[in-house]
Amino acid sequence: MGGVNIFTSSGLAEVTAAVLAGGLGIRLRPVVADRPKVLADVRGRPFLAYILDQLAAVGIRDVVLCTGWLGEQVEEALGSRYGSLHLTYSQESSLLGTAGALQLALPLLKSDRVLVMNGDSFCQVDLQDLWQWHQYRDAQATLVLTETEDTGRYGRVWVDEEGLVLGFDEKGSERGPGLINAGVYLLNREMLLTPTAQRAGSLERDVFPSWVGQGLYGYKSQAPFLDIGTPEAYAKADGFFKEISWG
């Protein structure tokens, strides 16, 4: 997006962010058993704090935390304010999946565009550039993508040279290097009103594939990425946040 200044980053201040923080964290329970995984300790702070810092740094003011299992712990830990952020909570009483969690929170998502982030992964993507990129392409939905050496754990995303998403491979179906979903999405709110998005289920498995051909784009990022969904990955978190640049 070099040289394109017709869209200012200040637009992010009007965007509501939703953090998907309701996962059961079953794979992580051998090392994090007494709390939701978004509260897993990393360098003396809950993992979720790093995501909130990232949102605050680009001027976002309103964040909805979509919680589930032990969600009351998240609200007790963070309250209604986190620095410059105003926090509200949408807690599911039964498992709804990531798509269902967003539907439950929809009345709280007031902005025309919504920034959605997985609460158990972190990508140090330039959110201001993502905003401009999404605007410039008149995208309906943009997924942040990152390169990995083995897509088997995550599933693979295929895009054309302009960034239009062409399709998805399921987890485990395709090994080797490729692009994966980094768990950061900029969505036009109207996309959350489409029939597939209004059902309980998975954004990744159920909703995004149904949006192929409807203005779904993939934004390629070389930014550091970490998913703490397994004990092995969580063990890398301290070193990850020690090494990444916050400047």
Whether 230 is covered by a domain: the verdict is yes
pLDDT in tens, 60-75: 999 999 999 899 999 9
pLDDT in tens, 128-137: 999 999 999 9
CATH number at residue 178: 3.90.550.10
Longest dimension (CA), the chain: 49
Range of the domain at 234: 12-243
Domain count, the chain: 1
Whether 142 is covered by a domain: the verdict is yes
pLDDT in tens, 232-246: 999 999 999 998 855
Q: What is the pTM of this model?
A: 0.92
Whether 1 is covered by a domain: the verdict is no
pLDDT in tens, 207-229: 999 999 999 999 999 999 999 99
Whether 199 is covered by a domain: the verdict is yes
pLDDT for res 246: 55
Whether 33 is covered by a domain: the verdict is yes
Whether 158 is covered by a domain: the verdict is yes
Whether 4 is covered by a domain: the verdict is no
Whether 66 is covered by a domain: the verdict is yes
